[in-house]
C-alpha cells in the first residue's frame, strides 16, 4: 500500500505572500499591509511579492508542467471585502479566473479562506477579540463559496491558528505584533474557533459541489528517541499535551474536531460554543516541518540534540520522521484522513553560473519526508494528499524575502521564474506516483 491513483500531489501558497497588487482593483488593506513596517527584515513588504495577481497564468502553466494534481491557494479577505459588508467584484474575479485556469490545466483547486492577513477595518474594531468578526467572516465565506464552489470542492477555513494567534497576539512576532495576556488570548481563541465553525457550516450548506472541509493547524509533533513502547508513548503524550497556550495541538483540534473542551479551555468555551465550533470535517489537514524535540522548548530537551544538526535557513532542524509520527498520532486521535497542507524547506538558493538553481539539500529533504509519508501510509494511515510549501519563493512574513521555500526561484527584481532542480525531481515523483520512493 502506498500512494493511490487519486493522491493529490500538489503545492501551496498564500495570497499575501505571492499576489502583490496590494492596493489595486479595489483591494482594501490588511494588517500585513498596514502594520508590518519596522517588523520585517530589511524593511521589506508584500506590496509586489511575486506579482502573482498579474502572472497567475504563467504560474499555473508552471504547475501544469510539473504535473501537479492540486494547488492550495488562499483568498485575500481584504481583497474581496475591502470594507465591512462591501464586496469587491474585481477582487473576487481574480479568484474566479485563477480557479478556471487551474481546472482547465487539470489541477484540483484547494481554497483556504484565511491565511493571516486580517482586514484593517476588522482589526481597528478589535479583530479577533470582537465577536462581530464572526458575522463578517460568515458573509465573506458565503460570497467566496457562491463564487467558487461550482469548481472548488476542497475547503480550508483557517490556516495555522497557532501562528496567527500565538505569533500575532501573544509573542508579537507577526502582525498585528501584539503581546497580550493569556486571558485575552483565550478570548481570541474562542472567537477564532466560532469563526471556523460558522464558516464550515456556511460551506456545507451553500456549496454547489459536494464540499470536503478541514482547517489547517500546524503540527511539529514530538518524535520518539527510540522505537521502544515507552519512548513512543512519551512522544505521543508530549505531542498531545494540554497546555493553556495557543501553540499546542489539542488546544485547537480537540474542540474543532472532537467537540471536546481541553482542561486548559474549560474556563473559556461553553457547551453552547462547542455546538457551533464542532462541525463535521472531511479530512485532518496539517502543516509540518520539524519535530518539537528540536524546537528549543524548555519543557523537555532531547538528548539527541547535538551540535551541527542539519537545519534549514529558518533554523529548523531537518527531521523527516516527524512526517510519520505526526500523521500516526493525529490519525489515531482524530480518525480523519490526513492531508499534508504544508511541508517544505527554506534554503540558500541563487541562480548559478549555468543559469540554473541547484538545490540538492531541498531535493534530499523532499525525498526523505515523502519516504516517511509513504511509510505511514503503508502502516495503514489514510493520506489523501501532499502540498509542498511552497510553489514559489515568496514573502516569508517577518523574515522578508531571504528565506526561499519555493520549487520555483523568483527573481524579485525582474519577476523571472526559474524551476529549481527539486521541481524537476518532484515532477518525476508525481509521474511515478511515488512508486520509487
Catalytic site residue from 19, 44, 101, 160: 160
CA atoms within 13 A on the CB side of 22: 19
Extended beta strands in 305-437, E state? 338-343, 383-389, 408-410, 417-419
Biggest alpha carbon distance in the chain?
62
Nearest 5°: the CA angle 314, 317, 321 is: 130
Residue 105's nearest CA partner among 139, 71, 81 is 71
Residue 180 phi/psi, 5-degree rounding, is -100, 155
For residue 342, indicate whether it is catalytic: yes
DSSP state of 218: B
Cell 490526513 identifies what position? 338
Residue 119 phi/psi, 5-degree rounding, is -55, 145
DSSP state of 85: T
Cell numbers representing residue 232 in the block: 513512543
Per-residue CA distances from 373 to 66, 250, 380, 382, 411 (Å): 20, 22, 11, 10, 32
Distance in angstroms (rounded) separating the CA atoms of residues 139 and 403 = 35
- 3 state DSSP class of 287: strand
DSSP labels for 109-149?
A: EEEEEESS--BHHHHHTTGGGSTHHHHHHHHHHHHHHHHHT
Q: At what angle do helices 421-431 and 360-378 cross, to 10 degrees?
A: 30
For residue 131, indicate whether it is catalytic: no
Per-residue CA distances from 352 to 3, 162, 299, 316, 349 (Å): 35, 37, 43, 25, 9
Catalytic site residue from 19, 44, 101, 342: 342
Residue 287 β-bridge partners:
218, 342
Distance in angstroms (rounded) separating the CA atoms of residues 391 and 62 = 9
Length, in residues, of the chain: 437
Neighbours of 97 (CB within 10 A): 12
Q: Give the catalytic positions in this structure.
A: 160, 342
Amino acid at each position: 500500500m502506498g500512494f493511490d491513483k487519486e493522491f493529490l500531489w500538489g503545492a501551496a501558497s498564500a495570497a499575501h505572500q505571492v499576489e502583490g497588487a496590494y492596493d489595486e482593483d479595489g483591494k482594501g488593506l490588511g494588517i500585513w499591509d498596514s502594520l508590518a513596517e519596522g517588523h520585517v527584515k530589511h524593511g521589506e513588504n508584500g506590496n509586489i511579492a511575486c506579482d502573482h495577481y498579474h502572472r497567475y497564468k504563467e504560474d499555473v502553466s508552471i504547475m501544469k508542467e510539473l504535473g501537479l494534481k492540486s494547488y492550495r491557494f488562499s483568498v485575500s479577505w481584504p481583497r474581496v471585502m475591502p470594507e465591512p459588508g462591501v464586496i469587491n467584484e474585481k477582487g473576487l474575479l481574480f479568484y474566479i479566473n485563477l480557479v478556471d485556469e487551474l481546472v482547465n490545466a487539470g489541477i484540483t483547486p484547494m481554497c483556504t479562506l484565511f491565511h493571516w492577513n486580517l482586514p484593517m477595518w476588522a482589526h481597528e474594531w478589535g479583530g479577533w477579540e470582537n465577536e462581530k468578526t464572526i458575522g463578517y467572516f460568515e458573509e465573506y465565506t458565503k460570497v467566496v463559496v457562491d463564487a467558487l464552489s461550482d469548481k472548488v470542492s476542497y475547503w480550508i477555513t483557517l490556516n495555522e491558528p497557532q501562528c496567527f494567534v500565538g505569533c500575532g497576539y501573544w509573542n508579537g512576532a507577526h502582525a498585528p505584533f501584539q503581546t497580550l495576556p493569556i486571558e485575552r488570548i483565550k478570548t481570541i481563541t474562542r472567537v477564532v474557533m466560532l469563526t471556523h465553525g460558522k464558516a464550515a457550516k456556511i460551506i456545507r450548506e451553500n456549496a454547489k459541489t459536494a464540499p470536503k472541509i478541514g482547517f489547517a493547524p500546524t503540527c511539529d509533533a514530538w518524535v520518539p528517541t527510540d522505537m521502544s513502547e515507552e519512548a513512543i508513548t512519551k512522544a505521543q503524550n508530549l505531542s498531545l499535551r494540554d497546555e493553556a497556550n495557543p501553540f499546542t495541538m489539542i488546544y485547537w483540534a480537540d474542540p474543532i474536531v472532537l467537540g471536546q473542551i481541553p482542561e486548559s479551555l474549560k474556563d473559556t468555551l461553553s457547551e453552547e460554543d462547542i455546538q457551533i465550533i464542532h462541525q463535521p470535517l472531511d479530512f485532518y489537514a496539517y502543516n509540518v516541518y520539524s519535530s518539537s524535540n528540536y524546537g528549543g522548548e524548555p519543557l523537555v530537551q532531547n538528548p539527541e540534540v547535538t551540535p551541527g544538526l542539519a537545519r534549514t535557513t529558518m533554523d529548523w532542524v531537518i527531521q523527516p520522521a516527524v512526517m510519520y509520527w505526526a500523521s500516526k498520532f493525529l490519525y489515531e486521535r482524530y480518525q480523519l484522513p490526513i492531508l499534508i497542507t504544508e511541508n517544505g524547506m527554506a534554503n540558500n538558493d541563487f541562480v548559478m553560473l549555468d543559469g540554473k538553481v541547484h538545490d540538492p539539500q531541498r531535493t534530499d529533504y523532499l525525498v526523505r519526508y515523502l519516504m516517511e509519508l509513504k511509510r505511514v501510509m503503508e502502516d495503514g494511515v489514510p493520506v489523501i494528499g501532499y502540498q509542498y510549501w511552497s510553489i514559489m519563493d515568496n514573502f516569508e512574513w517577518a523574515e522578508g524575502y531571504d528565506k526561499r521555500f519555493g520549487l520555483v526561484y523568483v527573481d524579485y527584481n525582474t519577476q523571472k521564474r526559474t524551476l529549481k532542480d527539486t521541481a524537476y525531481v518532484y515532477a518525476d515523483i508525481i509521474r511515478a506516483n511515488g512508486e520509487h520512493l
